[in-house]
């Protein structure tokens, strides 16, 4: 209801201005006490709105108090224009209690107006002025209920957007954990396995593997700190990120064709994580002995291709896993696409295209 709180104040202002004009222009009986009561009632309505917004509770109490003030103001208003205040009753009820309450109170207000005419204005149904008043009041009710419906849908949409934003953020964190920590933990596991295998046969190689594992752990820690402080950290170029990736494994080579573009950080992260995931899969699942990472800049966009000479797999199989799904999701978020080409015994090629 927040974005429509101005409605009641606007209606109060219009009714107050109309009532004052009617009295000061000499169109009424010129009863000062009655005019003062009318102005005091309108002031009380303004004050009631302020109190309700500050307390933000007991909506039924405020609705009843508003109805009582509407009735008092209508009785004191010589012009009869203050009946427009009752349009706010179904509007407020719709926003606070739901559609049914709004429709019921709207119908009740219309019936009360027609009943009042029947009691105090004999033959009103043959008078064009009173018929017009009833028609305009009905149209006002319809517009008020329509506006309340729009406000309700806006509120639901805002809640849905907030929910989707939370889901998107959880998915992004899941991809970051998988693509970053998963890569480093795989490297650590491979290096520790190497250290264990060479411990007796080649102590120097085993010691080097332990050193590499410690370095990978440090890089994993640095990645975590970088992700946490991503909003404050300086942008990283794709060349620098891929060079660091290749420096972690002598089986990985990097080739860059064309002048490096000034890519936004989301695109750099997408391409870097794609390369990380492809390299990790080549080492963990493909048993690759050589992995090539190629970046090509051309007028159509930026193309990242990671190929390996591993055992390959069937991309259509269910076991393709979260990593490839994460790659496709990342590429889609920056307007790109991810293509995986592989078959058993023939290695794997992962291509990411971004505009």
Lowest mean pLDDT: which of 171-180, 237-246, 344-353? Answer: 171-180
**Whether the predicted pLDDT of 318 surpasses 50:** no
Look at residue 234 and tell me whether its pLDDT is greater than 80. no
pLDDT value at 46 more than 80: yes
- Taking the C-alpha atoms of residue 12 and residue 41, their distance in angstroms, rounded to an integer, is 10
Among the ranges given (73-87, 117-131, 225-239), the one the predictor scored with the smallest mean pLDDT? 225-239
- The DSSP symbol for 229 reads T
Q: What is the mean pLDDT of residues 1-12?
A: 72
Q: How many CB atoms lie within 10 A of CB 87?
A: 23
Compute CA distances 147 → 88, 141, 336, whole Å: 11, 10, 40
CA distance 63 to 141: 17
pTM over 0.85: no
Residue with the bigger pLDDT between 329 and 239: it is: 239
pLDDT of residue 176 exceeding 80, the answer is no
Tokens of 187: 């490297």
Q: How far apart are CA 41 and CA 206, in angstroms?
A: 89
Residue 43's pLDDT band (cuts 50, 70, 90): very high
Q: Is the dihedral of CA 210, 215, 221, 227 positive or negative?
A: negative
What pLDDT was estimated at residue 109? 86
189 and 221 Cβ atoms separated by less than 8 Å: no
Q: At residue 299, what are phi and psi to the nearest 5 degrees? A: -60, -25
- Structure-block tokens of residue 138: 């009905």
The string of pLDDT tens digits covering residues 330-355 is 788 778 888 888 888 888 888 888 88
Q: What is the pLDDT of residue 323?
A: 63
pLDDT, average across residues 24-52:
87
Considering the chain, what is the average pLDDT of its residues?
Answer: 80
Burial class (CB in 10 A: 0-12, 13-18, 19+), 229: exposed
Q: Who wins on pLDDT, 179 or 261?
A: 261
CA distance 173 to 54: 38
Q: What CA–CA distances, in Å, run from 328 to 31, 113, 338?
A: 76, 62, 5
For 137-151, write each residue's pLDDT tens digit.
Answer: 889 888 888 888 888
Residue 175: predicted pLDDT:
65
Taking the mean position of all CA atoms in its chain, how far away is CA 226?
Answer: 24
Residue 30, pLDDT above cutoff 80: no
Q: What mean pLDDT comes out for the span 194-208?
A: 84
Element (H, E) at 338: strand 337-342
Find the angle CA(52)-CA(58)-CA(64) to the nearest 5 degrees: 80
CA distance 63 to 153: 22
Better-scored residue on pLDDT, 242 or 317: 242
Q: What share of the chain has pLDDT > 90, as a percent?
A: 2
* Per-state percent for the chain, helix, strand, coil, to nearest 5: 70, 10, 20
319, 342 contact by CB (below 8 A): no
pLDDT class of 40 with cuts at 50, 70, 90: very high
The residue assigned the tokens 């000479």 is 309
Report the C-alpha gap between 88 and 95 in whole angstroms: 11
Span 57-72, average pLDDT: 86
User: How confident is the model over 93-113, as a mean pLDDT?
Assistant: 87
Q: Which two tokens stand for residue 231?
A: 């909003």
By three-state DSSP, how is residue 77 classified? coil
Q: What is the pLDDT of residue 230?
A: 44
Phi and psi based region of residue 27 (left: phi greater than 0; alpha: psi -120 to 50; beta: remaining): alpha
Domains in the chain with CATH codes: 2-163 (no CATH), 238-355 (3.30.565.10)
Write out 298-311 in H/E/C secondary structure.
ECCEEEEEEEECCC
**Residue 316: Cβ within 10 Å count:** 7
Q: At what angle do helices 128-176 and 321-333 cross, to 10 degrees?
A: 130
DSSP assigned state of 354: E
Within 10 Å of residue 113's Cβ, how many Cβ atoms? Answer: 18
């Amino acid at each position: 209801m927040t974005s429509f709180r101005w409605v009641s104040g606007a209606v109060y202002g219009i009714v107050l201005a109309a009532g004052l004009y009617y009295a000061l222009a000499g169109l009424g009986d010129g009863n000062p006490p009655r005019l003062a009561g009318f102005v005091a009632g309108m002031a009380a309505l303004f004050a009631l709105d302020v109190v309700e917004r500050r307390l933000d509770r007991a909506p039924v109490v405020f609705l009843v108090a508003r109805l009582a003030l509407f009735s008092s103001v209508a009785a004191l208003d010589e012009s009869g224009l203050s009946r427009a205040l009752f349009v706010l009753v179904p509007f407020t009820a719709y926003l606070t209690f739901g559609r049914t309450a709004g429709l019921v109170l709207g119908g009740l207000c219309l019936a009360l107006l027609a009943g009042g005419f029947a009691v105090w204005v004999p033959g009103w149904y043959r008078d064009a002025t009173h018929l017009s008043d009833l028609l305009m009041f009905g149209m006002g009710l319809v517009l008020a209920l329509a506006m309340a419906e729009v406000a309700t849908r806006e509120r639901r949409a805002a809640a849905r957007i907030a929910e989707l934003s939370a889901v998107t953020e959880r998915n992004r964190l899941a991809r970051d954990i998988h693509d970053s920590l998963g890569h480093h933990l795989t490297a650590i596991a491979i290096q520790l396995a190497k250290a264990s295998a060479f411990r007796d046969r080649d102590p120097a190689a085993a010691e080097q593997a332990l050193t590499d594992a410690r370095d990978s752990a440090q890089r994993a820690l640095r990645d975590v700190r970088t992700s946490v402080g991503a909003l404050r950290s300086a942008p990283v170029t794709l060349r620098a990120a891929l060079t660091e990736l290749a420096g972690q494994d002598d089986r990985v080579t990097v080739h860059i064709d064309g002048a490096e573009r000034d890519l936004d950080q989301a695109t750099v992260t997408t391409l870097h994580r794609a390369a990380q995931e492809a390299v990790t899969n080549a080492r963990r699942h493909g048993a690759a002995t050589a992995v090539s990472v190629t970046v090509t800049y051309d007028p159509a966009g930026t193309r990242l291709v990671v190929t390996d000479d591993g055992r390959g797999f069937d991309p259509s199989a269910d076991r393709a896993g979260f990593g490839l799904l994460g790659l496709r999701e990342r590429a889609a978020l920056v307007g790109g696409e991810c293509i995986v080409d592989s078959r058993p015994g023939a290695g794997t090629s992962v291509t990411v295209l971004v505009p």
